[in-house]
Amino acid sequence: MKKTLLALSALLLSQSLYAECFQVSEKDLTVKWTAFKTPSKVGVGGAFSKFTFDGKTRSTSIKDITYGLGLKIDHQSVDTSNQARDAKIAKFFFSTMKGKEILARVTKIDDKNITLKVNMNGVDRDVPMNYTILGNELKANGVIDILDFSASKQLSAINKACLALHEGKTWSDVNIELTAQFSSCN
């Protein structure tokens, strides 16, 4: 009996040593967005190049790491691959917002959806996002409405600054995308 328990304990210990383990770091995350201009709703894609994150960095489950993950995004770090446009967005849209950061945290995750609590311009909103995990990559997509964050003044300012380019129309909805590339920690 003693030998059986010893053998079973050794087997369980060896299995736990080989359990799958995932990890993620700041360099493995991307925060992208697509805003829309013109009456025909042409997309303008961009990303934020400066942010920090907190939360779990290792676990046996990608979902476990994702739950509770928090982002602190420097909203002046706009990157659309066009420096003139980046400067305009930073100046006319983000510079007059309350605070210098956008805060986001995953507060709920199930098999298909994430709830991302976003604080922008001093306003908190829960943003539902669909997500997929393919291999070791999690990709989540959702939509925010700038007006939900009391940013009508900022939307009007960017529309006025880009009136001709936007043909008089800047949309308030913005697609957001979070991507995390997990790696094995074994």
Asked whether residue 145 is domain-assigned, the answer is: yes
- Of all residues in the chain, the percent with pLDDT exceeding 70 is 90
Asked whether residue 98 is domain-assigned, the answer is: yes
Q: How many domains does the chain have?
A: 1
**Mean per-residue pLDDT, 7-18:** 46
Q: Which domain holds residue 160?
A: 21-184
**Mean per-residue pLDDT, 104-126:** 98
Asked whether residue 112 is domain-assigned, the answer is: yes
Residue 186 banded pLDDT, cuts 50, 70, 90: confident
CATH of the domain at 26: 2.40.128.110
**Mean per-residue pLDDT, 32-45:** 97
pLDDT over 80 at 15, yes or no: no
More confident of the two residues 10 and 34: 34
Asked whether residue 15 is domain-assigned, the answer is: no
The dihedral of CA 91, 164, 32, 114: what is its sign? positive
For residue range 69-78, list pLDDT tens digits in order.
999 999 999 9
Asked whether residue 11 is domain-assigned, the answer is: no
Asked whether residue 8 is domain-assigned, the answer is: no
Three-class SS of 9-40: HHHHHHHHHCCCCEECCHHHEEEEEEEEECCC
Asked whether residue 13 is domain-assigned, the answer is: no
pLDDT over 70 at 16, yes or no: no
